[in-house]
Amino acid sequence: SGKITDNVTSSPLLGVNVVVKGTTNGSISDFDGMYEIRNVNMGDILVFTSVGFNSRELKVTSSTLDVEMVESTEALEEVVVIGYGTTTVKDATGSIEKVSTDEFNSGAITSPEQLITGKTAGVSVVAPGGQPGQGATITIRGNSSLSANNSPLIVIDGVPVDQGTTGGSSVSALNSINPNDIESFVVLKDASSTAIYGSRASAGVILITTKSGKLNAPLKVELNTNGSVGTVQKKLDVLNADQYRNTLIGSQNETLAVPLLGNSDTDWQDQIFQEAYGTDANLTISKGFESSAIRASVGYTTQEGLVKTSKFERTSGSLNFRQNLFDNDLKINVNLNGSITNDDFVNGGVIGAALQFDPTQPIFSGNNNYGGYYEWLNNDGSINNLAPRNPLGLINQSSNEAETKRAIGNVKLDYYAPFLDGLNFNVTLGFDYNERYGKTNTDPNAASAQNAQSITGDYGSLRRSTLADFFVNYKKEVESIKSSFELTVGHTFQKFYRENYANNPLISGTENSTFFATHNAIESYVSRLRYSYDSKYLLTLSYRTDGSSRFSGDNRWGNFSAAAFAWNISEENFLKDSETISNLKLRIGYGETGQQEINQDFGYLPVYQTSTDNQQYQLGGTFYNTIRPAGYDANIKWEESKTYNIGLDYGFLNNRINGSIEYYTRESKDILNQIPIPSGSNLTNQLITNIGDLENSGFEFSINSDIFQREDFNWNLGFNLSYLTNEISKLNVVDDPSYIGVATGGISGGVGNTAQIHQVGSAQSSFLVYQQVYDADGKPLEGVYVDRDGDGVSGGSSDTGDLYIKENPSADYLLGFSSYTNYKNWDLSFTMRASIGNYAYNNVASSTGNEFGLNSLSSNRNVSASILDTGFKNNQLLSDYYIQDASFLKMDNVTLGYNFKNAFKDDKVSLRIQTTVQNVFTITNYDGIDPEISGGIDNNFYPRPRTFLLGLNLKF
Amino acid sequence: ESELDLEPLTSQTSSNTFSDTAAYKQFMAKIYGGFSLRGQDTSGDFDDISGIDGNFSNYLRMLFTIQELSTEEAIIAWNDQTIHNINNHVWTSSDIFVTAMYARIYFQIGLANQFLRETEESVLDGRGNVDASLKSEISGYRDEVRFLRAFSYWHGIDMYGNIPLVDENDPVGAFLPTQVSRKEVFEFVEAELLDIETRLPEPRQNEYGRADKAFAWMLLAKLYQNAEVYTGTAMDVEALSFTSKIINSNAYSLVPNYNYLFLADNDRNGAENEIIYPILFDGITNATAGGTTYLVHAAIGGTMDPAEFGVNGGWGGLRSTKGLVEKFDDISGDTDSRAMFYTDGQSLEITNPFDFTEGYAVTKYRNVDINGVQGSDASGNNVDVNFPVFRLADAYLMYAELYIRGAGGDATNAVNYVNLLRERSYGDASGNISQSDLTLDFILNERSRELYWENHRRTDLIRFGQFSDVGVWPFKGGIPAGRTSESFRDLYPMPSAELNANPNLVPTPGY
Amino acid sequence: DDDSDLAQISSTASTGVANFSATTLVLDTDDKEGDALTINFNEPELGVASGKSYQLLFDLVGGDFSGAEIKSIEENTTVTFKTEEVNQILINLGAEPDVAAEIQVKIETILSSDTSLFSEVSTLSITPYAAELDLSSKWGLAGDATVNAWDGPDMPFYQTTDKSLDAGTFVAYVTLADGEIKIRADNSWDTNYGGSDGVLEAGGSNIAVTAGTYKIVFNENDLTYSIENYSWGVVGSATTNGWNGPDMPFTYNPLFDNWVAEVTLVDGEIKIRKNNDWTVNFGDVELDGILDTESDNNIAVTAGDYSITFNPVTLEYSIK
Ligand SMILES: [Ca+2]
Ligand SMILES: [Ca+2]
């Protein structure tokens, strides 16, 4: 017998389990922390376990044994899902980060990935803009590929989801999941963790677990609701009407443009932007029984966009049901998530039109032509085809509405074999179904409908995948050698089907449709061995064989192995009792991963493609849909990456201060890239083929600290920092130093121009530009560039030797900073993020900010206010003047909440009210509308709103 | 594992494609259409060649860029990539247009080779669904496809000189073709044409738009006429012989109105009697911003009225330099109807090439029929105008030139052929020339007056030695007044993309 | 923030003042091919490597270079002009032959088509000789109203130095008889125009004219023409017929695009007037060499043989 107390407060602990090790002989401590246990022999080992405390094992050396329990850093005992299994943080050997509900960003969040923006080192989440529902670009530790997919594999409750977008508009594959239903994100960063996903893991893996019911839990009802309003943070800097008139005077197009000037003063951005209102409501009911549990939720979200008429609406439901049978030997878990999303998209050209439309013109023409909107006309009153269209007309006279139905579900059967302790069979059957149907319509009176071949249309896509996993897991502890083993082997098969179609019937009545369907499949054999010695030394080995239908029989199968070793240094005797160091773990890992998301399913096969009806050729008066053999690379195969990772997890002062430090390098080879091939050797001029090598490396640091832990006052701070570099090390068959590389980064201002390049020795998508020469006052001299190749000539497009690489769009450093404070019933939290060393190309300024832009093709056009700084006459697209440092510090959100603890007589009822501001501020030197530009080319950017939100949470 | 052996769903493998015997003609239509279409659809995902905007990459539009923008006949206003380097004679081996033209040529050659592989007798027999009559029809297709391959090889040696020679006996896939001399390719093309010429249908006896004997004769005549440039040895006698075959076949006659050649109904307004090889366009079935759609739209700007051209808008790009304008004594078109210029609001001199209103506009191609009625695309986007690759008038001028060069022939005929063209365009004999007027200088200028904007100019100037180190026109050399360029520019460079992909290739001297 | 990295041109970058082989120059009409003037200057030290080329801008002192004569010398920093080249520059600037002209010169360093640096202005004194213009054209007038009737050679149309006229404009100054005319090229009927009411068409009908002295303006681009009575004469107390005319006639000199009258005058005053009437008449009040229409502007002359030249566009005149 003895007394069990907390090691810090020395207060007695109730309900601690005490078991004689290796037996079922046990007891539980009482209210005073006292326990008593019979039939114990000297030398027996007692195991003390309690939720929230580290378990202890003590040898019985006397009849009284008092025990101090150490409060567990939840973090260490916390269960973490990993691929095809779970582990605890303590036993993990790889670089894994978990972000759970209470750490999520709050605010008007329509797409789940926004929940973890800024929360984890090395993970970047960048939404392409402020259009509601648009999917963010997620990258883990930088890009690992050039032309193949750089997005991490996302696995929802064990079902890997299709990584593509759904067509029509770049809508997130995730946004049909209600963020309220998500329990946690687990980010697998290093290859020793991700290699279990083999050929789909090079870009990292994110495992999403949705909320589920708990056994033996009372009926719980939770209601969440909020309302929000979004406002424009910053408008594009274009000329106002007076500036426009003044700039025209004396410009090279003065004589053409001045007669076209109007008398109005219209801010077209004010016309197209609105205050964007949003609401969100979720109701969750859960109840646990002895051997079953259920959780059900419904959610309804609407979110307007900043551009008038754009809107996102989602109705979602989720159901989780668990049933344990046969004395808990069989566990059945069913998850079902479904949603219907309605998107109202705005015409993609609206923002560009608002930028360009002449500010001296009125909104309405005063007559009824073209819906009454002022438009640029030809002399005969017909529409001037090539002029910008009235932005408000574009919004109000055309529509693009899409409905997306999405369902993701799975059934898991877990069977613990009664005949062999530790043996477990697991079957998962999952599906992902994603169907979209959209309609476009333009008012026949609209200016944009004149001369159009088609003004109505519909489009759609269908993506579905099915998954069947079968796994066997065997766990064995061998005390005699202080070892535990866990072996997992399994087989998994997933197949995908995708189709896209569009119908845009011509006004003439002719059908005009396209249809494309494709499919692929992946089959894998997975095995993993985990070994632990004395809880100190941990070893994980994994091996996966993947077969992908995307490659020919010769290249179809790839093997991906990984090994990781971890040393729980703090478990060693010399640290075990340290008051200061509560956790110290060194991890070393190596893993091989692949990438087979290469944007084509049959790149290895010679195929013929039939032309559409508007690409026919006539022979003798008969029109033929042509057939064309496509170029192909019979030898196309996986991209392969090798990652080395070393990490140190630390925890001080009972883990009040904890975090980790990581260093990694990743070498990717046989990167798929589209490159020119020898003409005459194939059926096309460029092919996607395995050609490049790429190196990424980086350093990550994170720290979390409970600065204050008092009954009434708590303050937790989290900070993470990552440093990332990438370099292309090979790009071509011929190792030719004169090979300039692959142009990328298309820009506007003339067709086909690019401002970026993939070049050996540089980071991917580096900017390739001319070095601007400035006058003594720092004003750019038009057309004057540094003669970098020293041939005495500079500035011409024929003097490509003067082009040079200036920076790249990837950040060198990413920083995240979170704070949570509560005082009594109040709590205050915020998230800040910084990005350092990311550059952007200001294409708005470069393409329009010049005199030539003021007028062309018989219409006046507004231009970027950068013309006032440069005075450029013609566009200077490749001047490095437009490559700007887009480093920034942003406060993403700040939330103030109040919990009404005793507001209701029934203390089971809790009520919380919170207010959140999103996109609170941005500090940057960048001139454009927002420095956070995915890909680095800033053009036609849909602004991100600053959102004010009031929310309410009721539980009972 | 069988679960991983998937078949494409909407594109087809070779075997199931040719299980439908209609596929052979569809495949041949693709090779004919390779000069006219952008790809298999308009999405940009199924363009024929990559690395360049799908509208730029249209074969005919590329030909115009390479053959016309490099001469005094045309200049462009846009800021598209390196397009002004062509005007300015400062293109480099990494030039996107030089690269894309090359890619287009080999795309056609690759298609033709694949067609020949797919239609070899043993392959046809192996499919089991090709009967004797179809087999003989396909045998005719093979000759036509070989003509189309020869046509592109001619472009290849004309523009690039020494180039790789690949045929249907080469594999598809990872091999590095070897470069051969311009002369070797010349001889290959010559042999091919001489072989198929005997079997092709008589002139105008094939379906409209498909190759007949006259296609092959004209290409042979072109090849021989430029043989000295291509091989160092003149073959004017052979050139005259094939030119005469065309003329003497009496299958062709001049359309009475010069402008009819360039209208939307030039397949039926009489121009079809003059045009030997048309590249066909259609407003409904061919959506492209290349081809004649480009030639009509891009030439409209300033105060021009697009409706008069049967389209919905001008693109404000192409116009002439005074080098072309000055070839006409009277540019109004009242004297010589071939002078099709628009001057209202346009200046003759060009100081800013980016300004459409500098340089006289050219009104040659119009998407209207002889009654001014717009072509078939009601929206006014895509045009119906067929492009005259070869036409009788060209053969007449070739005859006259060859006569002057001493290849034989008859003085009366030579003068007569030129005067037939001049009488058509002057409306009477007032513009007729006499034998003493028949000089090489006259012919070069007359070819420009008759054939400007028909993609002959660069080749003509090179044959007359006036393309690079001789000959000055605005913006040649990058200055408004113009200046000569280096003689190595008579060849476009082997693209750097090719040099990087294929170590067997040698850079073009000078680049 | 990173302004320190900017490639900035030194604020003092300049070619400096050019060196001239001579600052006072009398051009020798007998040595047209000889070297007359060598100019060299220093390459500007920009402080950054940038391609550049140069041109020289010449203008009369007092001008603002807006109508400068421009000579491109590409990448060279030394250039030598022949006598006739220098002379042409001066004539183009409107300098009077055989009179020392003050010329200003500056060097333009062209960094791009839109960006240039300019040197300080230097001044030279240069005396040009009279240089001839070539205003000839292929166009001419044929017809029974012309001297050589329908067969030619035709009465010539000239190019004009009058910048107010559209491009493609040609002018003929002719005395015609009653009859008809047409406009044609190269003394040949291959290209010929007739018409009426100012509008021409190819092969159009003959244009009827009455006897008189005319200025005929023809635009080959627009195919328009105009005919106006047009003659110049010297009138005044110093002339044979006094103030009432008929005036002593000027004849057109296409070599200099001006009008010349070789006259013998007595002591007295003269004016220059158009078409023998006072509708258009000129004198010179300040005697600055430029004709004007102010009152009391008669030009006093002494008896002698004179060559009077004037240009009705620039209104420059000389009496020698
Ligand atoms: Ca250079
Ligand atoms: Ca960077």
Write the pLDDT tens digit of every residue in B344-363: 989 999 988 888 999 999 99
Contacts of A236 (CB under 8 A, 6+ apart): A269, A351, A354, A355, A844, A864, A928, A929
Show residues of chain C in contact with B348, CB under 8 Å: 167-168, 221
User: What is the mean pLDDT of the segment spanning C6-15?
Assistant: 85
Distance of alpha carbon C147 from alpha carbon C175, whole angstroms:
9
Q: Which of B342, B397, B380, B396 is nearest to B364 (CA)?
A: B342
pTM for this predicted structure: 0.83
Nearest to B84 by CA among B101, B94, B97: B97
The answer to whether the CB of C147 falls within 8 A of the CB of C155 is yes
The pLDDT confidence band at residue A562, using thresholds 50, 70 and 90, is: very high
At residue B237, the pLDDT reads 96
Average pLDDT in chain B: 94
- Contact list in C for residue A785 (CB cut-off 8 A) is 50, 112
Q: Which one of the ligands is nearest to A839 CA?
A: 2
pLDDT at A335: 93
Tally the residues of chain C: 320
Are B459 and B390 in contact, with CB atoms under 8 Å apart? no
Query: What is the pLDDT at residue B130?
Result: 94
What residues of chain B lie within 8 A of the CB of C167, using their CB?
347-349
Q: Give A804-856 pLDDT, tens digit per residue.
A: 999 999 999 999 999 999 998 899 999 999 999 999 999 999 999 998 889 87
Instruction: Determine, for residues C167 and B347 on separate chains, whether the beta-carbon distance falls below 8 Å.
Output: yes
Pick from B249-263, B309-323, B426-440, C12-26: least confident: C12-26
- Chains in touch with C (3+ beta-carbon pairs under 8 Å) read A, B
Q: Do A684 and B285 touch (CB under 8 A)?
A: no
Where are the strands (E) in B347-408, listed by range? 361-362, 387-391
Please enumerate in sequence order all residues whose Cβ is within 8 A of that of A817, keeping only pairs 6 or more positions apart, or say none: A118, A717, A718, A719, A720, A831, A832, A833, A834
Can you tell me whether residue A221 is helix, strand or coil? strand
Write down the mean pLDDT value for chain A: 88
Split at pLDDT 50, 70, 90, the class of A904 is: low
Query: What angle do helix axes B182-197 and B213-225 make, rounded to 10 degrees?
Result: 150
Q: Which of A872, A855, A871, A853 is nearest to A863 (CA)?
A: A853
State mean pLDDT over A176-189. Answer: 88
Going by their DSSP bridges, the two strands B318-319 and C7-8 should be labelled as: unpaired
Using a CB–CB cutoff of 8 Å, tell me whether B297 touches chain A: no
Residue C173 burial by Cβ neighbours in a 10 Å radius (0-12, 13-18, 19+): buried
pLDDT at A166: 45
Q: Is the pLDDT score of A269 beyond 90?
A: yes
Query: Touching check for B337 and chain A: CB below 8 Å?
Result: no
The Cα A620–Cα A633 span in angstroms is 36
Give the total residue count for chain B: 511
Give the pLDDT mean for B90-118: 94
Q: Ligand 1 centre from C54 Cα, in Å?
A: 17
What percentage of chain B exceeds 70 in pLDDT? 100
pLDDT of residue A256: 80
How far apart are alpha carbons A455 and A505 in whole angstroms? 8
Looking at the DSSP bridge assignments, the partners of residue A673 are A689
Q: Is any Cβ of chain A less than 8 angstroms from the Cβ of B387?
A: no
Chain A contact set for C48 (CB, 8 A): 773, 786
* pLDDT at site A169: 46
d(CA C177, CA A622): 68
Token pair for residue A89?
């943080």
Interface test with A, best of C2, C3, C12, C50 (most A CBs within 10 A): C50
Q: Is the pLDDT of residue C13 over 90?
A: no
Residue among B320, B326, B335 with most chain C CBs within 10 A, to mutate: B335
- What is the length of chain A? 956
Q: If DSSP codes are grouped into helix, strand and coil, which group holds residue A582?
A: strand
How confident is the model at residue A225, as a pLDDT?
Answer: 94
At A74 the pLDDT is 54
Q: Name residue, tokens 């082989």.
A: C21
Going by pLDDT thresholds of 50, 70 and 90, the confidence category of residue C199 is confident
**Band of residue A330 on the pLDDT scale cut at 50, 70, 90:** very high
Strands (E) across B141-207 are located at 163-164, 179-180
**Separation between Cα atoms, residue A476 and residue A483, nearest integer Å:** 8
Report which residue type is found at A262: G
CA nearest to A319, candidates A343, A336, A300, A301: A336
Res A203 pLDDT > 90 = no
pLDDT at A450: 87
Identify which has the larger pLDDT, C261 or A579. C261
- Confidence band, pLDDT 50/70/90 cuts, at residue B259: very high
List the single residue in A781, A787, A885 with the smallest CB-CB distance to C49. Answer: A787
Query: H-type helices in A134-215, by residue range?
Result: 191-194
Query: Looking at A832-841, B433-442, C162-171, which range is the least confident one?
Result: C162-171
Looking at the complex, report in whole angstroms how far the Cα of residue A803 sits from the nearest Cα belonging to chain C.
13
Find the residue in C nearest to B432 (Cα).
C190
For chain B, list residues whose CB is within 8 angstroms of any CB belonging to chain C. 329-332, 334-335, 343, 347-349, 430-431
Taking alpha carbons only, the member of A801, A830, A835 closest to residue A815 is: A835
Among residues C131, C209, C193, the alpha carbon closest in space to that of C157 is found at C193
Q: Which helix (H) or strand (E) holds A466?
A: strand A456-478
Residue A403 to residue A169: CA distance in whole angstroms: 12
DSSP string, B430-485: GG---GGG--HHHHHHHHHHHHTTSS-HHHHHHHTT-SSSS---TTGGGSTT----
CB A570 within 8 A of CB A576: yes
Tell me whether the omega of the peptide bond preceding residue C246 falls within 30 degrees of 0, making it cis: yes
pLDDT digits (tens, 9 = 90+) for A786-807: 999 988 888 666 678 899 999 9
C223 at interface of B, judged by CB pairs closer than 8 A: yes
Contact C7/A925, CB-based, under 8 Å?
no
Q: How many CB atoms lie within 10 A of CB C47?
A: 15
Which tens digits make up the pLDDT trace of C202-239?
888 899 999 989 999 998 888 889 999 999 999 999 99
pLDDT of residue A490: 95
Between CA C211 and CA C221, with CA C217 as vertex, the angle to 5 degrees is 140
Least confident span in A165-179, A690-704, C217-231, C253-267: A165-179
- Cβ–Cβ gap A510/B378 under 8 Å: no
What is residue A52's predicted lDDT score, i.e. its pLDDT? Answer: 63
CB distance C114–A873 less than 8 Å? Answer: yes
The gap between the terminal CA atoms of chain C, to the nearest Å, is: 69
Q: Do C8 and A873 touch (CB under 8 A)?
A: no
Residue B356: closest C-alpha in chain A: A857
Contacts of B171 (CB under 8 A, 6+ apart): none
Gap between the Cα atoms of A466 and A328, Å rounded: 28
Which tokens is A541 given?
A: 């080995």
pLDDT of residue B1: 47
In the predicted structure, residue C3 carries a pLDDT above the cut 50: no
- Give Cβ neighbours of residue C91 (< 8 Å, ≥ 6 apart): C97, C128, C130, C131
Contacts by residues A381-386 (CB-CB < 8 Å, ≥ 24 positions apart): A382/A450, A382/B307, A383/A447, A383/A450, A383/A451, A384/A857, A384/A858, A384/A859, A384/B313, A385/A450, A385/A451, A385/B306, A385/B312, A385/B313, A386/A857, A386/A858, A386/A859, A386/B313, A386/B314, A386/B315, A386/B316
Q: Please provide the average confidence, as pLDDT, over all residues in chain C.
A: 88
Q: Which ligand is nearest to the CA of A764?
A: 2
Q: Tell me, what's the pLDDT at A421?
A: 86
Higher pLDDT, A58 or A465: A465
